[in-house]
């Protein structure tokens, strides 16, 4: 059984390593998610509406990846080797609203050159911007 290590928040570099692991896994997932797109007729593939639909498709697949793991056990495959877990601010399981706010604010953070992640370097509690917005945090897990 695991217990939260006094809600000790995760540092930037451990989180970055976890993100790197998940990025590798998600790249493979998105590779397979591209397969249905080969059925889009070639003459309309570059149409603006089709390009937007492709982006939304990749966003949906990414959301399902993160939300599914976060809601099931609080950890993505990239978080497990680094012994970190996503919890609400009281230390319990996150809910669908928190997961959704966290995911979409993290996407926005990436669009803004990672500013939401860099926020944790100056935050006294080492919270990212999406930690604050979603009332959740990533903490260390310690074996009981």
What residues does each domain of the chain span? 2-143
Q: Considering the entire predicted model, what is its pTM?
A: 0.89
- pLDDT (tens digit per residue) in 56-67: 999 999 999 999
The confidence score (pLDDT) of residue 59 equals: 98
**From CA 138, how far away is CA 112, in angstroms rounded?**
21
The confidence score (pLDDT) of residue 144 equals: 63
How would you class 98 by CB atoms within 10 Å of its CB: exposed for 0-12, middle for 13-18, buried for 19 or more? buried
**From CA 117, how far away is CA 32, in angstroms rounded?**
28
* pLDDT beyond 50 at 70: yes
Range of weakest confidence among 22-36, 89-103, 118-132: 118-132
Average pLDDT for 63-76: 98
Percent of the chain with pLDDT over 70: 95
Q: Which residue has the higher pLDDT, 45 or 25?
A: 25
- Asked if 132 and 3 touch (Cβ cutoff 8 Å), the reply is no
């Amino acid at each position: 059984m695991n217990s939260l290590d006094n809600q000790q928040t995760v540092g930037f570099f451990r989180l970055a390593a976890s993100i790197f692991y998940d990025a590798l896994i998600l790249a493979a997932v998105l590779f397979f998610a591209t397969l249905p797109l080969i059925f889009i007729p070639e003459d309309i593939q570059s149409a603006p509406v089709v390009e937007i639909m492709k982006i939304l498709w990749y966003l949906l697949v990414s959301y399902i990846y993160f939300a599914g793991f976060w809601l099931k056990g609080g950890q993505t495959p990239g978080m497990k080797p680094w012994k970190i877990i996503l919890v609400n601010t009281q230390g319990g399981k996150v809910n669908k609203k928190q997961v959704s706010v966290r995911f979409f604010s993290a996407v926005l953070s990436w669009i803004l050159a990672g500013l939401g992640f860099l926020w944790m370097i100056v935050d006294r509690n080492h919270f990212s911007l999406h930690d604050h917005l979603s009332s959740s945090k990533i903490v260390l897990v310690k074996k009981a």
